[in-house]
Amino acid sequence: MSKRTEPRNKIDRRLGCNLWGEPKSPFNRREYGPGQHGSKRKKLSDYGIQLFAKQKLKGYYGNISEKQFRRYYDKALKKRGDTSEYLIALLETRLDAIIYRMNIAPTVFASRQLINHGHIEVNNRRVTIPSFSVTTKDIIGVRQKSLQHPVVLETTDKATKDVPDYIEFDKQKIVGRLIRVPKLSDVPYPVQMEPNLVVEYYSR
């Protein structure tokens, strides 16, 4: 089970942006980084800009480990075409990302926890791996005995964000599927993501 090493609020403040577009983000009140000198941000070098882009993308998908993130990059690099688009596709088709997009969980971190605790199923089989890669053939939902889980009930009932059009979701049955693999322009990021800079970072 992968552990979240930093609270979401700290990630927001460290990166200097409201990464998930949440109304309660501390960045909405204090638009600078943590610490005594957080407000004194230096101008970033090209390397710093690339590193920042990588940290944003990593952070958005639940602060996944550097080792795992690098594996996604290596996998995307082997594909023909735009590496940055393939990188986004690999990240966005993670099971924890799909559960978050379906409004079954309020955050990527909560989504990961639901999966780790065995509340999610794919094709009627329990899956406990948040990084499980979802395909357009997969049917994703909440296990029958977990349909009354407080997180599931509250999030589906009070959803504040729309389900993107590359995902089909039945709110009554709490079941959905990936219709197509999304492109960067399809993904509803609250902040600008620059996977091309991530590719440049690893290509140094």
Could you tell me if residue 129 is inside a domain? yes
Tell whether the model's pLDDT for residue 195 goes beyond 90.
yes
Could you tell me if residue 162 is inside a domain? yes
Domain match, 81 and 117 both: no
CB burial of 26-55 (b: ≥16 within 10 Å; e: otherwise) equals: bbeeeeebeeeeeeeeeeeeeeeebebbbb
Could you tell me if residue 1 is inside a domain? no
The answer to whether 174 touches 152, Cβ cutoff 8 Å, is yes
Tell whether the model's pLDDT for residue 33 goes beyond 70.
no
Going by pLDDT thresholds of 50, 70 and 90, the confidence category of residue 24 is low
Residue 119 tokens read as 């509340």
Could you tell me if residue 23 is inside a domain? yes
Which of 7-11, 68-72, 107-111, 142-146 is predicted least confidently? 7-11
pLDDT of residue 151: 94
> How many angstroms separate the Cα of 159 from the Cα of each of 2, 21, 43, 56, 103?
26, 14, 38, 24, 6
Whole domain around residue 193: which residue ranges?
8-91+188-202
pLDDT of residue 3: 44
Could you tell me if residue 3 is inside a domain? no
**Whole-prediction pTM value?**
0.85
Q: Which residue has the higher pLDDT, 28 or 65?
A: 65
Q: What does the pLDDT look like over 101-157, one tens digit per residue? A: 999 999 999 999 999 999 999 999 999 999 999 999 999 999 999 999 999 999 998
Tell whether the model's pLDDT for residue 8 goes beyond 80.
no
Task: Find the CATH number of the domain harbouring 83.
Answer: 1.10.1050.10
Tell whether the model's pLDDT for residue 72 goes beyond 70.
yes
pLDDT of residue 43: 81
Domain match, 166 and 148 both: yes
Going by pLDDT thresholds of 50, 70 and 90, the confidence category of residue 158 is confident
Number of domains in the chain: 2
Output phi, psi for 125, to 5 deg.
-120, 135
Task: Find the CATH number of the domain harbouring 121.
Answer: 3.10.290.10
Give the whole-angstrom CA distance, residue 64 versus residue 109. Answer: 10
Could you tell me if residue 127 is inside a domain? yes
Domain match, 100 and 132 both: yes
Q: How many other CB atoms are there within 10 angstroms of residue 99's CB atom?
A: 27
pLDDT of residue 81: 94
Assign residue 143 a region (left: φ > 0; alpha: ψ between -120 and 50; beta: otherwise): beta
Domain match, 14 and 51 both: yes
* Number of separate helices (H) and strands (E) present in the chain: 8, 5
Tell whether the model's pLDDT for residue 5 goes beyond 60.
no
Domain match, 31 and 14 both: yes
Domain match, 83 and 98 both: no
Q: What does the pLDDT look like over 139-155, one tens digit per residue? A: 999 999 999 999 999 99
Q: What is the mean pLDDT of residues 22-30?
A: 57
pLDDT of residue 27: 54
Domain match, 16 and 75 both: yes
Domain match, 45 and 109 both: no
Tell whether the model's pLDDT for residue 1 goes beyond 50.
no
Give the whole-angstrom CA distance, residue 71 versus residue 86. Answer: 12
Output phi, psi for 177, to 5 deg.
-155, 160
Domain match, 113 and 59 both: no
Tell whether the model's pLDDT for residue 6 goes beyond 70.
no
